[in-house]
Amino acid sequence: MRRTAAAFAVALCAAAWPGAASARAAATLEGGSVVFFSDTLALFARDGAALALADGTRAHADAAYLDLKTDRAVLAGHARIARGAANASADAIVIELDTSRVDLLDARNATVTQTTRALDAAKPAEFDAQRFTFPDVEDRGAFIRAKHAAIVPHADVRLSPATFPNSVGSVPVPSYLYTYATGAGFASSALSGATFDQPYGLWGSPNSLTALHARWESGPGAALALQQQFVSGDDAFAALSFDAPLHGYTVRGFNGYRRLGARYTAVADATGTIFGTVMHGGLTAAFGAAGARLDYTRTSGGFSKLDFALRTPDRPLFGGATWRLTGDLGYDAQRGGLLTQLPDARSYATVWRHGLDFSVATPVVRAPLGTTLSSTFDVQRTWYAFPHHFDQFGATAFATKTFSRKVSLFAGYQGTWNADVYPNAQAIFYPSPSTPILTPDGTPYYGYAAFTGAKTFRLQNLTLQVTPDANTAYRLTLTHTADFPQFNGYGRPQWEIGGDVRFRPFPNIGLDVGRAYDFAWGGTRWVPRWSFAITP
């Protein structure tokens, strides 16, 4: 609770002094009513509009329209502009936010003159109807209604006090920051996934954003998070986060990316909890369709690993199928030794390994009964610098049957077989249990007692989907698994049937509600559970 309270305090302080980290507003727009349309990035001021620019330029009119995409303001009706002692008036005035150009329209004489914000001598100009466009919109369709808007071009607009007339369940706030900066890094996050995540911008600039997040997370429940993002166009970003569930432990996160020329990129990420910290850094390289990757991972528990991988491009095989080969060289290290089963575990504090991975993908082909089918196959082996190797084979298949534009049937299969092999030492690393292993219902777990390093995972699923419209979907799914060690209270249930409904009860809120049942295992007929998600 102390950590959660501290997070609240930090967030409240940040909200109280947003100017400390915000870029200075280049323009402010006020009026009896200021409305904002997020889909068109348009601001409208009614009942007396006042525009103020950072260089001291002031303009007034009956109404104003500001296009945040073009950084152009149109003032209409008894328009007047002033800067220092100079002033001018017209029926309509166009002001560019990113240049000093000013256009004045005299509707009676149908003439246009052009000047600058210094309001020096005006010169005649051609009439451009597009520059004087003032869209006719219904204010009731606006996303936000306010009295004051502060604009940082190419970054954000802060509206205050802000109400959300078309957002069901929203509450008025003293200030709301809407970010429209275009850097791809603003879509990145250092926060983990959540059922619901509503960000609230505290301050920002064209290259940064600080936001408070109200979240609902699976397990801990309600949480409050703070995230800071730094962006450099589409070439680099860094995100830092502090996630504080009301009931649970805090999580600190970092995520970063940097483009290093046309072929190379660098990535880094880290997560810290009460259980420890995991840090990762990587370099990727692309050579045509081929590629390479270097990764280094380290934990606070004393484990680290280095991986270098090379992959071929996808090459044609036959019938439209393709293949790919990946080679890997790795180095593992663990303080105290990796092989704790051995009396001389410290002798194996570091271990080299290398591996090969061969994969095949088939094209989407037409199958009987009007279905389409695609599949993948993957086989890999990893060798270690002592008598030990790990083998794995995987296969997937996916089929689709479309009955109409609104009704579809999907079927899938996934299978994975792996073996962890220690020649002449299998019993050391996978010994028979000295005491019986019991399942959750108290019966002996014979499958695990027979486990000696080889596992099987098989899953088949069938899904019927009905989509009456773009905002509504119904899904019914049947899933069967056949694993070894077989399920008996541990692992994946053998049978599951579930259904979920996705719909949008309000324009700004989507819901996804599901109900699933595990059955026919361990003497239990039904084990129900709910799932729930809120979507934008």
User: Domain range for residue 40?
Assistant: 25-154
The yes-or-no verdict on residue 126 having pLDDT over 70 is yes
User: Quick check: is 120 in a domain?
Assistant: yes
Per-residue pLDDT tens for 5-64?
A: 444 444 444 444 444 355 677 899 999 999 999 889 999 999 999 999 988 999 999 999
Looking up residue 36, the CATH number of its domain turns out to be 2.60.450.10
User: Quick check: is 57 in a domain?
Assistant: yes
User: Quick check: is 273 in a domain?
Assistant: no
- Mean pLDDT for the chain? 88
Which parts of 422-481 are beta strand (E)? 454-469, 472-481
The rounded distance, in Å, linking the Cα atoms of 521 and 498 is 16
Per-residue pLDDT tens for 470-480?
A: 889 999 999 99
Work out the average pLDDT over 95-117: 88
The yes-or-no verdict on residue 186 having pLDDT over 80 is yes
The half-sphere exposure of 437 on its side-chain side, counting CA atoms within 13 A, is 14
Residues in Cβ contact with 86 at an 8 Å cutoff, skipping those fewer than 6 apart: 118, 119, 120
Per-residue pLDDT tens for 139-152?
A: 888 889 999 999 99
The yes-or-no verdict on residue 289 having pLDDT over 90 is no
The yes-or-no verdict on residue 303 having pLDDT over 80 is yes
Lowest mean pLDDT among 31-40, 88-97, 380-389, 498-507: 498-507
Longest CA pairwise span in the chain (Å): 101
Lowest mean pLDDT among 19-33, 228-242, 249-263: 19-33
| Report for 191-200, 275-284, 332-341, 511-520: range of highest mean pLDDT | 275-284
Would you state the pLDDT for residue 13? 42
CB 227 within 8 A of CB 211: yes
* Antiparallel, parallel or unpaired: β 101-106 and 86-96: antiparallel
The rounded distance, in Å, linking the Cα atoms of 24 and 55 is 12
The rounded distance, in Å, linking the Cα atoms of 100 and 298 is 53
Percent above pLDDT 70 for the chain: 93
The rounded distance, in Å, linking the Cα atoms of 323 and 309 is 17
Would you state the pLDDT for residue 85? 86
- What's the gap between Cα 151 and its chain centre? 26
CB 293 within 8 A of CB 285: yes
Would you state the pLDDT for residue 522? 61
Give me the number of domains the chain comprises. Answer: 1
In angstroms and rounded to an integer, the radius of gyration of the C-alpha atoms of the chain is 31
User: Quick check: is 403 in a domain?
Assistant: no
Would you state the pLDDT for residue 507? 66
Residue scoring higher pLDDT (19 or 276): 276
User: Quick check: is 126 in a domain?
Assistant: yes
DSSP string, 308-327: EEEEPPPEE-STT-EEEEEE
Residue 180's closest CA among 68, 24, 67? Answer: 68
User: Quick check: is 221 in a domain?
Assistant: no
User: Quick check: is 389 in a domain?
Assistant: no
Residue found by looking up tokens 């008894």 in the block:
78
The yes-or-no verdict on residue 209 having pLDDT over 70 is yes
Residue found by looking up tokens 């997020």 in the block:
38
The rounded distance, in Å, linking the Cα atoms of 509 and 525 is 36
The rounded distance, in Å, linking the Cα atoms of 204 and 421 is 54
User: What does the buried/exposed string (b/e) look like for 283-313 if buried means 16 or more CB atoms within 10 Å of the residue's CB?
Assistant: bbeeeeeebbbebbbbbeeebbbebbbebee
